[in-house]
Amino acid sequence: MAPIEVLSEHACFGGVQRFYKHASKETGTPMRFSVFLPPQAEHVKVPALIYLAGLTCTEETFMMKAGAQRVAAELGLALIAPDTSPRGAGVAGETQSWDFGVGAGFYLDATVTPWSNHYRMESYITAELLPLLGQEMPVDIDRMGIFGHSMGGHGALTLALRHSSQFKSVSALAPICAPTQCPWGLKAFKGYLGSETSAWAAHDASALMSLCDAAPYPSGILIDQGLADKFLSEQLHPHLFEAACAKVGQPLTLRRHAGYDHGYYFISTFVADHLAHHARALA
């Protein structure tokens, strides 16, 4: 496995915040990710929580804006944030729009060229980053949860449903719940997966949940959604995921908050609840 390079290191709430870079086999590019290790990690392997960020974000965004490290230190949780896409792949058109290409990998493996050579975020996270963390970090990859925001909320829900053996808990903040039924998802899926729409449902959280025979996360899924979110009605559709969960008996706590928008003021308000949700499940 390729060595990882520490780009920076910062003491933080008794633990340490680090930013890393390594050569990825899955994407064929350098990839960056960030890790917060709580003080407990000096003595034991700790449970870990992967955060998937939204469109245009990087591995730095959550760690700098969400204010999550203080709570993670108290709970003994490691926090990991990968980048939102490969960078420097040189795919024609990858920097032309903010909601497709660089910064918008949608946490899936592209199946059509030229994207399929590098845009492999699902395999990068599940088949490369998780084993790397288990090898290089004092984290217990058998106690791994996943959550995310917006595009990253879509990623958290779909990766949890597609890889339930790897992720023991899941939550999301303002997630894209039905990407096959919103402009962001339609653009991404057509670009990455091609025009054959039958393949798209495998990356749609509402569709995946509706196909379950039983609740995949019986301890519950937590979603927070701001009602002043300008993307709610056109892009996010949490009611569709809510209906899919009800259909299969999946416990879901979907909290709708008046006055809150789509940004990191919203995320920082409710992130402690999400960390507590995962800490209970991963204890």
| 171 part of the active site | no
* Torsion sign (Cα): 223, 53, 20, 89: positive
Which of 85, 150, 169, 206 is catalytic? The answer is 150
Please choose, from the candidates 199, 270, 207, 215, the residue with its C-alpha nearest in 3D space to the C-alpha of residue 241: 207
Which of 149, 203, 237, 262 is catalytic? The answer is 262
| 99 part of the active site | no
Please choose, from the candidates 90, 131, 85, 86, the residue with its C-alpha nearest in 3D space to the C-alpha of residue 106: 85
Give the three-state DSSP class for 80: strand
- Residues in CB range of 28: below 8 A, 6 or more apart: 86, 89, 117, 118
| 229 part of the active site | yes
Give the three-state DSSP class for 226: strand
Which of 169, 229, 237, 277 is catalytic? The answer is 229
Burial class (CB in 10 A: 0-12, 13-18, 19+), 214: exposed
List active site positions.
150, 229, 262
